[in-house]
Amino acid sequence: MRYSGFRILKEALTGHKGWGHAWRDPEPQTSYDYIIIGGGGHGLATAYYLAKEFKQARIAVLEKGYLGGGNVGRNTTIIRSNYLLDGNEPFYEFSMKLWEGLEQDFNYNAMVSQRGIINLIHTDAARDAATRRGNAMIMNGADAELLNRDQVRVMYPFLNFDNARFPIKGALMQRRGGTVRHDAVAWGYARGADSHGVDLIQNCEVTGMRIENGKILGVETSRGFIGAKKVGVAVAGSSSKVMAHAGMRLPMESHVLQAFVSEGLKPLIDGVMTFGAGHFYVSQSDKGGLVFGGDIDGYNSYAQRGNLPVVEDVIEGGMALMPMIGRARLLRTWGGIMDMSMDGSPIIDKTHVDGLYFNGGWCYGGFKATPASGWCFAHLLAKDEPHVTAKAYRFDRFLKGLMIDEKGQGAQPNLH
Amino acid sequence: MIIHHPILGPRDAQEFVYLGDASLIGRPDGLTASIEEFHNYTYLRDNPAGAHRELWYHEQGDRSWLVVTRNTVTHEILQVELARDVARAEGRSK
């Protein structure tokens, strides 16, 4: 069924009896051509593009819980393509272009809102760095604009421009950046994949991999063995756990990142704002809640909840930037598990096992990458060669010294 | 999280800096190890869900390095040792 304004009118006049389920709930078959492990944003996007763009069939997505119950349901919904390095920027700009056409493509309202993102500047050095980044973005086909202090003041007059430690001197802006309704991304891809014949199998945890003579034959699951010619893993924070079934140790650590929502307020922040120096970023949801966050907690964790010191740190950053939020009450906080890689950049690559492919290491930036991650992973699965924008995301870049280290922190995942 | 420092007693984790897996103590010999061994040491991690031995540095305290065994699923701290003792037990630095 296609969703449309006409359809809404028709259903309104006939008692909303014709909507039906958005996707099937099939039993797993004994074997598939492709199994995607992980029914989150990246896994569902992979299955969707594999079926729709690369015309492959007999595809299943295995999810240990429910669809979209992991990080795609826990992030702060920001999309942007404001990276610096050659290995990253073309990929993220490809993702941005996919976001721009996404809702028409999968016929689902994902509330893609290009409301603009600014990164605040406090020093001359930071302005130089922002200029360089903006130029790198423009050279890769993205949009970037350098704003001065007065231009920022027009947009957000309430900011603490004269903060003694971090006075606001300007900002780097990407007008095409913004926010997307995160759950709807998972639902849209799930519905799109299902309508192209993909089996979405929930409550099906992978407990092992059957590998013989260096080739994958299928996966052991909580619902029995399922055979497959090719297996793609896209499980974010659980990457190390799942790939251990294939005897692999990954260049990553799992860390917890917290996010926060305030009570609903009147319209205050119409874009996305990052205050990197203060470890704080914020946007406002359509319901009025301020959605904000900061740094990861900084120690290995699979707990999906963080600790109070980082709550304090993030809120201090918020208070420094816009002191009036001290009057707002915090509604909710939660945590998600980030697969923090050794250089802060992701991996989309084959493994040493024939037919086993890996997609992970997205750190805390996986949401914005969802469409391109799915597309590039589907490309790799279908054609056995990397997509042109994801060529640098290889496992062996650490061995070869080809790291993509945006922050220049080295092999220290909690600092990326 | 409260880390029970072997010398100073219960200290808030805020006073510490986190480095990572305690296997980093076992650095390969720079004169004999292969590039692959150094790659594995520098970049690859077990990253377990459960008990994890890890290095914490008491920067805002006595500047000692600790090996903390902590459950990464519950954040419960199971054991705290001086990294010096762990390293010596592993035969590093007599």
Say which CATH number the domain at A301 has: 3.30.9.10
The total number of structural domains that make up chain A: 2
Contacts of B19 in chain A (CB under 8 A): 412
CB A243 within 8 A of CB A232: no
A302/B72 touch (CB, cutoff 8 Å), yes or no: yes
pLDDT tens, position by position, A276-299: 999 999 999 999 999 999 999 999
Dihedral pair phi/psi, residue A317, rounded to 5°: -60, -45
pLDDT tens, position by position, A99-126: 999 999 999 999 999 999 999 999 999 9
Contacts of B43 in chain A (CB under 8 A): 251, 342, 398, 411
A51's tokens:
């079926």
CB environment A102-141: b (16+ within 10 A), e (fewer): bbebbebebbbbbebbbbbbbeeebbeebeebbebbeebe
**Residue-level pLDDT at A1:** 83
A240/B48 touch (CB, cutoff 8 Å), yes or no: yes
Residue among A376, A269, A408 nearest A54 (CA): A376
Alpha carbons A204 and A79: distance in angstroms, whole number: 30
Dump strand ranges (E) for A26-90: 31-37, 59-62, 78-79
Section A128-132 average pLDDT: 98
Section B65-91 average pLDDT: 97
pLDDT tens, position by position, B52-77: 999 999 999 999 999 999 999 999 99
Examine the pLDDT at B85 and tell me if it is beyond 90. yes
Residues A358 and A304 occupy one common structural domain: no
Residues A336 and A269 occupy one common structural domain: yes
Q: Which domain holds residue A165?
A: 112-179+253-341
Out of A286, A319, A341, a domain closes at A341
Residues A240 and A132 occupy one common structural domain: no
Section A191-198 average pLDDT: 98
Residues A247 and A333 occupy one common structural domain: no
Residues A124 and A267 occupy one common structural domain: yes
B49/A413 touch (CB, cutoff 8 Å), yes or no: no
Out of A312, A341, A370, a domain closes at A341
A307/B44 touch (CB, cutoff 8 Å), yes or no: no
**Residue-level pLDDT at A242:** 98
**Residue-level pLDDT at B93:** 74
A250/B14 touch (CB, cutoff 8 Å), yes or no: no
Residue of A207, A253, A255, A404 to mutate when probing chain B, most B C-beta within 10 A? A253
Average pLDDT, chain A: 97
3-state helix, strand, coil in chain B (%, to 5): 25, 35, 40
Alpha carbons A121 and A45: distance in angstroms, whole number: 35
Percentage of residues of chain A with pLDDT beyond 70: 100
pLDDT tens, position by position, A229-245: 999 999 999 999 999 99
CA A244 to chain B, closest CA, distance in angstroms equals 9
Residues A245 and A390 occupy one common structural domain: yes
The total number of structural domains that make up chain B: 1
Coil, helix or strand at residue A343: coil
**Residue-level pLDDT at A267:** 96
Alpha carbons B48 and B69: distance in angstroms, whole number: 12
Please indicate, yes or no, if residue B94 is contained in any of the structural domains.
no
Please indicate, yes or no, if residue A64 is contained in any of the structural domains.
yes
Examine the pLDDT at A301 and tell me if it is beyond 70. yes
Contacts of A307 in chain B (CB under 8 A): 1, 13, 75
Residues A369 and A240 occupy one common structural domain: yes
**Does the CB of B34 have a partner CB in chain A at under 8 Å?**
no
pLDDT tens, position by position, A322-345: 999 999 999 999 999 999 999 999
Please indicate, yes or no, if residue B83 is contained in any of the structural domains.
yes
Read off the pTM.
0.96
pLDDT tens, position by position, A177-187: 999 999 999 99
Q: Among all residues of chain A, which has the CA nearest to that of B49?
A: A302
pLDDT tens, position by position, B8-64: 999 999 999 999 999 999 999 989 999 999 999 999 999 999 999 999 999 999 999
Residues A72 and A202 occupy one common structural domain: yes
Q: Which domain holds residue B66?
A: 2-89
Please indicate, yes or no, if residue A7 is contained in any of the structural domains.
no
Residues A67 and A137 occupy one common structural domain: no
**Residue-level pLDDT at B94:** 60
pLDDT tens, position by position, B48-57: 999 999 999 9
| Residue B45: CATH number of its domain | 3.30.2270.10
Out of A325, A341, A357, a domain closes at A341
Section A126-142 average pLDDT: 97
